[in-house]
Structure 1
């Protein structure tokens, strides 16, 4: 039953991601100067694509709150308006910020290898790479990438979606830590690495 559920969920996730990538590509082809669209799509592919091939966890949080947070936190990009918005900074600067966010994501995900997924789960405690500095560097990468996209595609709707996204991601982090804190290894890790996202702040 668990395997069948995994297959169905991952297949649907792949379909939704494909539709988003096609839609974003169409917007980009209409205006190839909007490179931020490519990096926004790349961030989605990294997030969802790697989750599709991740290992099945030992324990997963199917709590309705966790599920709702995860669904919006993962698929929020479907609510983003990819039509041209207001460029608060030149495209090049926005892309540079996005690139930084993607690099942080890739570094974090390379450290995790296949210990990565969407729902809060215990896939083993990782304490190498950027996880030696903050406990959730992958989410930091998401935030930086979103900020770069917003700077070149500003609009009231996108601000609202990304604000909700960031708020829910904080909730997602708290849910993950609630589950992982059951593991003695993770509790020791929390005592060594104090900050979740921003060193000295949170």
Structure 2
């Protein structure tokens, strides 16, 4: 017989299932749109009115691989052992994930060929690196601030939040490809949300894993140690 003590566990399990189903459905839909875009581009390759067609195609493939891996890792992810309290971490996580959809409502512009090449290269490289990081993170992946398993090796030995770093590289590319003041503002707000997400996630990880404190003390948050002297203006 169920008891009142079972209710919080059942509610948490139901919430995790609904969240998992929503993420899988949304990113599966996004991946299907990307497949259609790639197919249409290849089918109309000779008349495709895009600069740097090869870079464009590679960037589209990189985005598709990332979306598919989000679906797979979300479907098979581990159950959370700790979650952030309150509504703010959830709102921040959702806003940080879906805010960039507003870029489709901003007025478009055509960048110069050199800027377009840089933007496409950043999108391709950013999503390719994001796919690598997500593959390493595996079943610990989560959009919400939750703890599943502490990952400190691979790209996570370089910085504590490599996925946010690589995603931002891609987002800079997206903003460059369709540069407008509203688009730039959306990009800046998005980065601020990501910084807040890092804070929320670290608070959960510190509560779930006592060893996280030592890991955080020796691993930069988001800027690799190699580039820190450049940011300080020293050799």
Structure 2 distance, partners of 1:48, 1:64, is: 24
Residue range with higher mean Cα deviation, 80-89 or 113-122 = 80-89
Check whether the contact 2:206–2:212 (CA below 8 A) recurs between aligned residues.
Answer: yes
95, 110, 134: which one aligns with 2:135: 110
| TM-score, scaled to structure 1 | 0.83
1:58 corresponds to 2:81: yes
Check whether the contact 1:40–1:149 (CA below 8 A) recurs between aligned residues.
Answer: no
Structure 2 distance, partners of 1:4, 1:86, is: 46
Q: Which residue of 2 aligns with 1:186?
A: 212
Report the secondary structure of 2:103's partner residue: coil
30, 42, 52: which one aligns with 2:64: 42
Structure 2 distance, partners of 1:61, 1:166, is: 20
Q: Which residue of 1 aligns with 2:24?
A: 14
Check whether the contact 1:87–1:151 (CA below 8 A) recurs between aligned residues.
Answer: yes
1:134 corresponds to 2:159: yes
| TM-score, scaled to structure 2 | 0.72
Tell me which structure has the larger Cα radius of gyration.
2
Structure 1 distance, partners of 2:69, 2:179, is: 23
Do the aligned partners of residues 103 and 20 (structure 1) sit closer, same or farther apart at CA in structure 2, a change above 3 Å counting?
A: closer
Do the aligned partners of residues 40 and 73 (structure 1) sit closer, same or farther apart at CA in structure 2, a change above 3 Å counting?
A: farther
Gaps (5+ residues) in structure 1?
none
Q: Could you give the per-residue CA deviations for residues 105-133 of structure 1, whole angstroms, max 9, x where no partner exists?
A: 12222221211111111112111111111
70, 75, 86: which one aligns with 2:110: 86
How many residue pairs are counted as aligned between the two chains? Answer: 201
Q: Could you give the per-residue CA deviations for residues 134-169 of structure 1, whole angstroms, max 9, x where no partner exists?
A: 111110011100001111111222212221111000
Q: What's the C-alpha RMSD, in Å, of the aligned pairs?
A: 3.0
170, 173, 176: which one aligns with 2:195: 170
